[in-house]
Chain A
């Protein structure tokens, strides 16, 4: 044992190929000089020098183990003996690393062991908890009390153990995990792709720790059951356009709390928030059409509104203009009427060709096509 402990591969390799220091190269059954000696030398290994062969002694053997060729395995007495020999007793320092002896010659080990024990006592009996944490103290598995924030003292392990947990922080559970579709049936047998999160924290640490097997998963299970039941009560429209969402969230939260309280899970459900409520991917186009139709309808209405406003404004304008003129006319009806007539006629006649025909006894000849031609030529001639 101690012999194997003293074997170093570097030394072993250095010897390979050279003349074996403990054999003369032609040992019967021994290893040759060229090949590495197969069995590692040492008092724990079989082989080595054949019994009674004279020659160099194995330098790796302890002198007192080498008893003229008779070899034996170390027994328990040997181990005790070699231990007592102190550091280096194993020929190269087997076992533990050594420390220099203390002043009075005694070992350091009792002191080291003692301080490790003290450290362990101290560390397993003081517990520092942050303000967010609470700890459950159990005495041999039995619930003793709950400790709060600050430094707390208990009996050391294995008498008392403490499980600490963050109780005030809010856990956010998003359902479903990942990106897949989570289709939920609505009351009108439509489907909606729903994703929501549940915010909860620990209400009662004892219940949370002792009352159910997997409280985290329980919360998820309950959330799913409660949400699906709540969605099954409302029509698609309420979930999709958001009008029923607040109610849905509140219902789910209340349901979850009731169920978890019945399980004595020690969980407080703070809130349920719907993150996404989309139509299923396969019918998304049809839903898009509804959106487009809504926009078109809105556009039609807006156009009509604009037209209506213009029409009314024009009517009001014209009516107001007439009223003004009428008021003037009322002051001097005949004169105003005449004035308006002449003014209009001025504008009309000044803008057109005029022919005055004395009709009495004359057959009028109206060279209408010629007149028209002249009218057309006039601008052309002017241009030349």
Chain B
């Protein structure tokens, strides 16, 4: 358990919390005029609530929950595409578990499975490739989804499929990248952010220099963070120190896992298999330039879009449900509990908006770890 227990040590946490308080006093941030720090990654949002860190830090720090849950930001039209592919005869549709419940216009993948579609929950794209090997008479589609964390494994699987010439396998590519939405948020005049806690898992692949623009162009500190409670507290302290000292830099708190220049094998696989799409839709945020990846020409035979004739953007965009405030929550303009649908029309049982769908969405985290009940109690 090295690398875990020492990052959950309550005594060490107390020390970091005292240091955070001291820097907050030095900066002069208060509950009325808080520093707004965005954690980009859904895993961080989840950890903040799981360990009650939001209640432990001084009132002068406000966590803004960013768009870093790939399941949450998946546009509804793409879910509709998935359901349509999965319902075609002869198809075995493979997906990660947490994408099963995302609502489409007609139904979620979970509902499509109940209606008879052959949808399998897998833990790795290699499992889907193995299914294709074992079922040569079936068409196996893997739902490629996620940030740079999962993108390399799909790329390596596609390379393997090409090497072995497995013709009944393809990837429905919905991979997205982290830096473009950060830029979009920073360019949004409504956004007021003082610093970022950067995504640890993504940065294992990309390294830390893809965030240079955050510091250089926008003058905001960003600290790449691990997922244990002490990692997060230390990262917050590092952001605060930069602010107190008038610095804006990219720092790496998660250096035990994140190499400065990323993972060259993964980066090479990504470059070989994918190219950026001109634009990709993010649920709650809209179209963002060069934020999505598509499969290159050389892998066309394994591209579900080519194989099934599904063009990106061919399906009309689906408007968010009435009253859904996911966009405002993701840009820090509204707290989940302030959304008129939170806990009323929108619950994890019946998710209406994106952020209630996956356990790592901000609204689901609020719901799971206290928000909904606290609201009900206050009412």
**Chains A and B are bound partners:** no
Measured CB to CB, the residues of A under 8 A from B are none
